[in-house]
């Protein structure tokens, strides 16, 4: 270790948490750098959350503002439930991607900037000028800019620093945040586990070079105390958690068609599913994926189809068939920005109502939403069980912000109770009917091909208890009633959700899906100022769990916060009669007859606690009398 | 004695012989003179001849006149969505290779709304029998033009005659990678229909049969010239293909020896629309079935799942300091 001649190092600044961005041109490995850094931090006992910064194109032009690719890592002493607000520290591989983050207002005032300095002396005078201009601008605006000779240092070890810089930066970050170098070396070996020993060694050398350079040249140390972890935890992203959940639920068939941002769940599942005999079938289109899964479910255990918004739209007719035939089916919808092609790589909670009501006619389905990465895993297991118990379609909503975000959570302990039982192949008792609906619950045992005596023709046409086509109007209505009753039967079994924070008071903030952590954090901030605010998060959207109405009634006002668009009353065109609400607000208003207000954004980014906090504060200061 | 009692119980649920009426479901509601009736009779006869257990047999259909088919069988049936019977059948087969799966579809169901599934099902090559009832018109929705309608056909959507040449399902099918069985027959030759569906059922892989079928309601008399003149049918015969009975041979004397292994010859024959080729155009027993490639018969073992899930969780696990596995 170099000890002589290095600058005086101030004692580390003690922090509770920090938000760190690493941005580069696409392909320079910023994401791998950030993921590895997060894993090292998690192994050291930090709470972590990562958010990928994804350009829409596979190979955007180099040094472009829109091409910023990278990752945000939030590390903290305690557990982290969301990506936080703006960055406290940013590492940029060039000035243009940094400008992209600046324009997006993702950098906190006074943010520390570690910037590749090679552009200052670039042969192209325009490039050099752009670099100097941004550098001076940032310095003038109070950002703390450190120029780092990333390429020059990496060139001492590798010929092509374009592929090695990320590990140099990793070493730099490990030094700045006081993480253990030996642990970092180990994690780099795991990151490159599929590569040769030579590749691993080179990357470890780059890591150490980054560490040593920071140790020698950078008077910048942060220390975030760790919480001693006494349980095994796993670090995965939301889509991997979905894939793990599919396998752990005992489902045997996943049919899918490639679509962003859902596909990586199927990538992961494809890499492991065959080891237990499972099949990932990449169908010729979304409709085929849904109907293939329906066929597999009909003749066997419940199957799953994984998709995103446009795919959900295409599958809707098939979902209606599964509802009509009472075929269990799990649909995983990793939501993205819509409508149409919209923002494929960006986050939005736009599919709630289409998941509930998307198919034509009266097609009751179960709709649930995962609140974080851990929930992605367990939701699939729950969904499979509900689908097979109630012979229903269960849609699980996640979104692009969970798909690639990583969180550390308690390692699941596998239970064989999670698995579907083997399919029933016993003879059907004489006189049993294929849709022998229970008068009270609407439930009927399903007959599976292979069961002697159970032969019948399942049909998407209206049908009676014998599955014969219903021409009698009363028969059609009875079947509709029976399919509807099952949602009520499920609702009776759901646990009432609890309110976090104040149990009564000025404002109840209600959310669903990926916003739970950010809403909870925003609510805590305003509570710290003495406001009496609660947070209610819904896991089941259809049916809605019991007890929600009572929670709403205990607060003066209710605000639904969602990552989707709702008209704003400050817009001159908008009034109470023409305002379009957010998805959840529509539901709550219809169900509970409460004048639920709503606030949301449709910027394609995860909702940050700071913007939610601002929206809450605006509501709290508006002294509007709400009719109760 | 007890063992005998158990055997008796089994015999009740698994009769040792099935008769034709064991396969008969609801009363068919097709029009008098509709070719679908002949196809139903041929498939019921096939089930009887092969003694297929009704509970192990599934007929999957789409939407259209022909897709009412499963309602008239006393087997398991799946009357699903317009155009989608093939992916449903593939899904059934993927975990249940023990089931005998048939698809009954029409020219609209298969060659219009379900075209992409048709092409891709041929490529997946699951072991299913696909019977495409081709009457060249939409019947259930009351007389609209179909992809296989002859040019000039006047329908409710083409009042001045269809401007397009008919799509040829045989050339399309024979052009798809992994195609493994293609046959064609006509509804008015019941013996040949039976022989062909039997050969199709016995083939391992996707068997595609196009059955030209009369629609007395909207295409009345369309096939009359072919029915009246047996010379306008070209019987494809071979020791590995169709072997017509002497009585059939004496009526249909326009015959050609065609080896179903010869894909190039099959493609040439498929181009012929008049005379209508009848017989097995192509068969290749060596194309692997999708469900075999995907290990459909794997038995799920909870302990195996536990082992793999645990192994996967290990990959992502951060063990507490000092604990095993770090």
Half-sphere exposure of A500 (CA within 13 A, CB side): 18
Closest residue in chain B to residue A45, using alpha carbons only: B320
Among candidate residues B23, B36, B10, B6, the one with its CA nearest the CA of residue B109: B36
In the predicted structure, residue B47 carries a pLDDT above the cut 60 = yes
Model confidence band, residue B325 (pLDDT cutoffs 50, 70, 90) = very low
Interchain pair B87, A287: CB under 8 A = yes
Quick one: DSSP state of residue A420? P
Interchain pair B94, A298: CB under 8 A = no
How does pLDDT run across B268-280, given as a tens digit for each residue? Answer: 999 999 999 999 9
Give the mean model confidence (pLDDT) for residues A476-502.
97
In a domain, A229, yes or no: no
Give the mean model confidence (pLDDT) for residues B213-221.
95
Supply angle C-alpha A169, A170, A175, rounded to 5: 95
Distance from CA of B175 to the nearest CA of A (A): 18
Q: Of A203, A223, A243, which residue sits at a domain end?
A: A223
In a domain, A482, yes or no: yes
How does pLDDT run across A323-380, given as a tens digit for each residue? Answer: 999 999 999 999 999 999 999 999 999 999 999 999 999 999 999 999 999 999 999 9
Q: What is the pLDDT of residue A625?
A: 52
Looking at per-residue pLDDT, the higher value among A62 and B145 belongs to B145
In the predicted structure, residue A506 carries a pLDDT above the cut 80 = yes
In a domain, A230, yes or no: no
How does pLDDT run across A244-276, given as a tens digit for each residue? Answer: 999 999 999 999 999 999 999 999 999 999 999
With contacts defined as CB-CB under 8 Å, which chain B residues touch A297? 91
In the predicted structure, residue B223 carries a pLDDT above the cut 50 = yes
In the predicted structure, residue A626 carries a pLDDT above the cut 70 = no
| Torsion sign, CA atoms B224, B229, B232, B234 | positive
How does pLDDT run across B86-143, given as a tens digit for each residue? Answer: 999 999 999 999 999 999 999 999 999 999 999 999 999 999 999 999 999 999 999 9
Please provide the average confidence, as pLDDT, over all residues in chain B. 93
Looking at per-residue pLDDT, the higher value among B323 and B48 belongs to B48
With contacts defined as CB-CB under 8 Å, which chain A residues touch B8? none
Q: What is the pLDDT of residue A7?
A: 58
Q: What is the pLDDT of residue A471?
A: 86
Model confidence band, residue B321 (pLDDT cutoffs 50, 70, 90) = low
For A116, other C-beta atoms within 10 Å of its C-beta total 25
SS3 category, A242:
helix
In a domain, A228, yes or no: no
- Which residue bears the tokens 């799990």? A330
Interchain pair B306, A416: CB under 8 A = yes
In a domain, A628, yes or no: no
Among candidate residues A249, A266, A232, A251, the one with its CA nearest the CA of residue A301: A251
Please tell me whether residues A348 and A451 are part of one structural domain: no
Interchain pair A252, B310: CB under 8 A = no
CATH of the domain at A324: 3.40.50.970
Distance from CA of A369 to the nearest CA of B (A): 23
Closest residue in chain B to residue A451, using alpha carbons only: B55
Q: Of A399, A418, A437, which residue sits at a domain end?
A: A418
Interchain pair B81, A317: CB under 8 A = yes
In the predicted structure, residue B12 carries a pLDDT above the cut 50 = no
Query: What ipTM was estimated for this complex?
Result: 0.95
With contacts defined as CB-CB under 8 Å, which chain A residues touch B71? 457, 459, 468-469
Closest residue in chain A to residue B73, using alpha carbons only: A457
Query: Of the candidates B89, B94, B319, which has its C-beta nearest A232's C-beta?
Result: B319
Closest residue in chain A to residue B96, using alpha carbons only: A299
Q: What is the pLDDT of residue A162?
A: 84
Hey, what long-range contacts does A564-573 have (CB within 8 A, 24 or more apart)? Answer: A564/A348, A564/A349, A564/A350, A564/A352, A564/A600, A564/A602, A565/A350, A565/A600, A565/A601, A565/A602, A566/A598, A566/A599, A566/A600
Interchain pair B312, A247: CB under 8 A = yes
Q: What is the pLDDT of residue A622?
A: 80
Question: Strand pairing partners for A599?
Answer: A561
Distance from CA of B94 to the nearest CA of A (A): 7
Instruction: Return the percentage of chain A with pLDDT > 90, whole number.
Output: 91
Q: What is the pLDDT of residue A467?
A: 96
Closest residue in chain B to residue A268, using alpha carbons only: B312
Quick one: DSSP state of residue A259? -
Total domains present in chain A: 4
Query: CB neighbours of A399 closer than 8 A, spacing ≥ 6?
Result: A334, A335, A336, A347, A348, A349, A513, A514, A563
Closest residue in chain A to residue B291, using alpha carbons only: A279
Q: What is the DSSP string of A426-473?
A: SPPPTT--TT---TTT---PPP-TT-TT---EEESS-B-TTSPBP-SH
Please tell me whether residues A193 and A295 are part of one structural domain: no
Please tell me whether residues A364 and A391 are part of one structural domain: yes
Query: CB neighbours of A38 closer than 8 A, spacing ≥ 6?
Result: A48, A50, A73, A75, A235, A406
Q: Of A493, A513, A539, which residue sits at a domain end?
A: A493
Please provide the average confidence, as pLDDT, over all residues in chain A. 95
Q: Rounded CA gap, B69 and B104, in Å?
A: 7
In a domain, A2, yes or no: no
Please tell me whether residues A488 and A509 are part of one structural domain: no
Model confidence band, residue B7 (pLDDT cutoffs 50, 70, 90) = very low
Interchain pair B304, A294: CB under 8 A = no
Model confidence band, residue B318 (pLDDT cutoffs 50, 70, 90) = confident
Distance from CA of B75 to the nearest CA of A (A): 5
Distance from CA of B306 to the nearest CA of A (A): 6
In a domain, A333, yes or no: yes
Interchain pair A288, B117: CB under 8 A = yes
Selected for mutation to probe chain B from A75, A322, A427, A457 (highest B CB count within 10 Å) is A457
Please tell me whether residues A254 and A401 are part of one structural domain: yes
Interchain pair B92, A296: CB under 8 A = yes
Looking at per-residue pLDDT, the higher value among B206 and B13 belongs to B206
Please tell me whether residues A504 and A489 are part of one structural domain: no
Model confidence band, residue A6 (pLDDT cutoffs 50, 70, 90) = low
Distance from CA of B211 to the nearest CA of A (A): 23
With contacts defined as CB-CB under 8 Å, which chain A residues touch B76? 447, 449, 454-458
- Could you tell me how many CB contacts below 8 A there are between chain A and chain B? 209
How does pLDDT run across A449-465, given as a tens digit for each residue? Answer: 999 999 999 999 999 99
Give the mean model confidence (pLDDT) for residues A215-226.
94
How does pLDDT run across B99-112, given as a tens digit for each residue? Answer: 999 999 999 999 99
Query: CB neighbours of B16 closer than 8 A, spacing ≥ 6?
Result: none
| Strand segments (E) across A149-230 | 222-223
CATH of the domain at A614: 3.40.50.920
SS3 category, A484:
helix
- Which residue bears the tokens 């001045």? B160
How does pLDDT run across B70-82, given as a tens digit for each residue? Answer: 999 999 999 999 9
Please tell me whether residues A36 and A172 are part of one structural domain: yes
Model confidence band, residue B15 (pLDDT cutoffs 50, 70, 90) = low
Please tell me whether residues A256 and A304 are part of one structural domain: yes
In the predicted structure, residue A624 carries a pLDDT above the cut 60 = no
Q: Rounded CA gap, B157 and B43, in Å?
A: 33
Please tell me whether residues A442 and A524 are part of one structural domain: no
Model confidence band, residue B11 (pLDDT cutoffs 50, 70, 90) = very low
Instruction: Return the percentage of chain A with pLDDT > 70, whole number.
Output: 97
For A624, other C-beta atoms within 10 Å of its C-beta total 9
Q: What is the pLDDT of residue A8?
A: 59
Q: What are phi and psi of B2, to 5 degrees?
A: -65, -40
- For residue A417 the two structure tokens come to 């109770």
Q: What is the pLDDT of residue A464?
A: 96
Q: What is the pLDDT of residue B14?
A: 55
CA–chain centroid gap for B38, Å, is 15
In the predicted structure, residue B211 carries a pLDDT above the cut 50 = yes
In the predicted structure, residue B253 carries a pLDDT above the cut 70 = yes
Q: What is the pLDDT of residue A55?
A: 80
With contacts defined as CB-CB under 8 Å, which chain A residues touch B296? 279
In a domain, A7, yes or no: no
Give the mean model confidence (pLDDT) for residues A280-291.
98
Please tell me whether residues A129 and A157 are part of one structural domain: yes
Model confidence band, residue A513 (pLDDT cutoffs 50, 70, 90) = very high
Model confidence band, residue A60 (pLDDT cutoffs 50, 70, 90) = confident
Distance from CA of B76 to the nearest CA of A (A): 5
Please tell me whether residues A42 and A125 are part of one structural domain: yes
Give the mean model confidence (pLDDT) for residues A480-490.
98
Q: What is the residue range of A353's domain? A: 235-418
Domains in chain B with CATH codes: 15-316 (3.40.50.970)
Please tell me whether residues A241 and A379 are part of one structural domain: yes
Among candidate residues B133, B137, B140, the one with its CA nearest the CA of residue B105: B133
Q: Which of A61-75, A88-102, A198-212, A508-522 has the lowest mean pLDDT?
A: A61-75
Distance from CA of B127 to the nearest CA of A (A): 15
CATH of the domain at A115: 3.40.920.10
With contacts defined as CB-CB under 8 Å, which chain B residues touch A450? 55-56, 96, 98-99
Selected for mutation to probe chain B from A35, A39, A299, A302 (highest B CB count within 10 Å) is A299
Give the mean model confidence (pLDDT) for residues A499-527.
98
CA-derived radius of gyration, chain A: 27
How does pLDDT run across A83-130, given as a tens digit for each residue? Answer: 999 999 999 999 999 999 999 999 999 999 999 999 999 999 999 999
């Amino acid at each position: 270790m170099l000890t002589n001649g290095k600058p005086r190092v101030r004692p580390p600044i003690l922090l509770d948490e920090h938000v760190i961005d690493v941005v580069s041109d696409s392909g320079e490995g910023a994401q791998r750098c950030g993921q590895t850094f997060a894993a090292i931090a998690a192994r050291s006992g930090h709470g972590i959350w990562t958010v990928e910064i994804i350009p829409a194109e596979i190979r955007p032009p180099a040094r472009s503002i829109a091409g910023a690719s990278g990752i945000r890592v939030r590390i903290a002493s305690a557990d982290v439930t969301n990506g936080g607000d703006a960055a406290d520290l940013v590492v940029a591989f060039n000035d243009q991607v940094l400008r992209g983050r600046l324009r997006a207002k993702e950098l906190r005032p006074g943010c520390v900037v570690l910037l590749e300095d090679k552009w200052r002396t670039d042969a192209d005078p325009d490039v050099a000028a752009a670099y100097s201009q941004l550098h001076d601008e940032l310095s003038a605006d109070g950002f703390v800019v450190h120029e780092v000779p990333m390429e020059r240092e990496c060139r001492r070890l590798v010929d092509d620093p374009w592929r090695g810089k990320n590990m140099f930066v990793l070493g730099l970050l490990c030094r700045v945040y006081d993480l253990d170098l030996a642990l970092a070396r180990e994690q780099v070996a795991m990151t490159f586990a599929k590569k040769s020993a030579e590749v691993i060694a080179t990357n470890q050398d780059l890591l150490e070079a980054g560490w040593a350079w920071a140790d020698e040249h950078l008077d910048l140390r942060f220390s975030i105390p760790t919480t001693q972890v006494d349980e095994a935890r796993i670090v995965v992203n939301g889509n991997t958690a979905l894939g793990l959940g599919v396998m752990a639920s005992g489902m045997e068939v996943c049919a899918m068609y490639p679509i962003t941002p859902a596909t990586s769940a199927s990538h992961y599942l494809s890499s492991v599913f065959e080891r237990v005999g499972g099949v990932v079938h990449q169908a010729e289109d979304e409709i085929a994926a849904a109907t293939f899964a329906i066929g597999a479910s009909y003749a066997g255990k419940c199957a799953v189809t994984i998709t995103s918004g446009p795919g959900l739209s295409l599958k809707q007719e098939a979902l209606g068939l599964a509802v009509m035939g009472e075929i269990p089916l799990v649909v995983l919808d990793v939501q993205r920005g819509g409508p149409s092609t919209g923002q494929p790589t960006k986050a939005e909670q736009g599919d709630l109502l289409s998941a509930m009501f998307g198919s034509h006619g009266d097609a009751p389905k179960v709709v649930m939403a995962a609140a974080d990465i851990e929930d992605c895993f367990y939701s699939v297991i729950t969904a499979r069980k509900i689908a097979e118990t109630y012979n229903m379609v269960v849609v699980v909503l996640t979104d692009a912000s969970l798909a690639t975000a990583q969180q550390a959570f308690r390692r699941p302990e596998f239970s064989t109770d999670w698995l579907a039982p083997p399919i029933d192949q016993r003879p059907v008792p004489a006189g049993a009917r294929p849709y022998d609906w229970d008068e009270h619950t609407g439930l009927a045992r399903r007959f599976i091909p292979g069961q002697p005596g159970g032969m019948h023709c399942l049909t998407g046409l209206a049908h009676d208890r014998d599955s014969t086509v219903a021409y009698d109007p009363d028969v059609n209505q009875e079947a509709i009633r029976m399919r509807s009753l099952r949602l009520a039967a499920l609702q009776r079994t759901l646990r009432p959700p609890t309110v976090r924070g104040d149990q009564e008071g000025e404002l109840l903030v209600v959310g669903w899906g990926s916003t739970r952590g950010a809403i909870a954090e925003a609510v805590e901030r305003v509570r710290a100022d003495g406001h009496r605010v609660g947070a209610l998060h819904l896991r089941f959207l259809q049916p809605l769990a019991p007890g929600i109405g009572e929670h709403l009634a205990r607060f003066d006002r209710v605000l639904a916060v969602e990552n989707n668009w709702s008209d704003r009353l400050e817009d001159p065109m908008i009034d109470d009669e023409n305002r379009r609400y957010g998805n959840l607000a529509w539901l709550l208003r219809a169900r509970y007859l409460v004048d639920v207000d709503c606030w949301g954004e449709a910027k394609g980014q995860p909702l940050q606690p700071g913007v939610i906090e601002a929206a809450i504060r605006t509501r709290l200061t508006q002294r509007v009398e709400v009719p109760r | 004695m007890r063992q005998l009692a158990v055997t008796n119980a089994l015999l009740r649920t698994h009769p040792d012989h099935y008769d034709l009426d064991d396969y008969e479901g609801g009363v068919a509601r097709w029009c008098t003179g509709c070719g679908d009736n002949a196809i139903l009779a041929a498939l019921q006869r096939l089930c009887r001849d092969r003694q297929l257990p009704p509970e192990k047999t599934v007929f999957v259909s789409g939407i259209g006149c022909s897709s009412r088919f499963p309602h008239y069988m006393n087997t398991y049936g799946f009357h699903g969505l317009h155009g989608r019977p093939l992916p449903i059948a593939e899904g059934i087969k993927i975990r249940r290779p023990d089931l005998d799966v048939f698809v009954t579809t029409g020219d609209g169901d298969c060659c219009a709304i379900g075209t992409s599934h048709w092409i891709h099902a041929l490529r997946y090559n699951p072991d299913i029998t696909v019977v495409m009832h081709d009457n060249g018109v939409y019947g259930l929705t009351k007389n609209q033009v179909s992809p296989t309608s002859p040019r000039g056909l006047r329908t409710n959507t083409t009042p001045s005659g269809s401007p397009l040449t008919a799509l040829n399902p045989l050339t399309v099918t024979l052009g798809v990678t992994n195609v493994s069985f293609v046959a064609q027959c006509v509804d008015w030759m019941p013996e040949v229909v039976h022989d062909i569906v039997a050969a199709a059922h016995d083939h391992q892989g996707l068997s595609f049969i196009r059955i030209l079928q009369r629609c007395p309601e909207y295409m009345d008399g369309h096939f009359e010239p072919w029915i009246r003149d047996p010379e306008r049918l070209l019987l494809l015969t071979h020791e590995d293909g169709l072997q017509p009975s002497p009585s059939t041979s004496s009526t249909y004397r326009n015959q050609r020896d065609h080896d179903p292994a010869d894909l190039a010859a099959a493609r040439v024959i498929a181009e012929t629309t008049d005379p209508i080729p009848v017989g097995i155009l192509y068969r290749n027993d060596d194309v692997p079935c999708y469900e075999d490639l995907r290990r459909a018969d794997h038995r799920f073992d909870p302990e195996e799942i536990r082992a793999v899930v645990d192994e996967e969780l290990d990959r992502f696990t951060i063990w507490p300091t000092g604990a095993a596995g770090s």
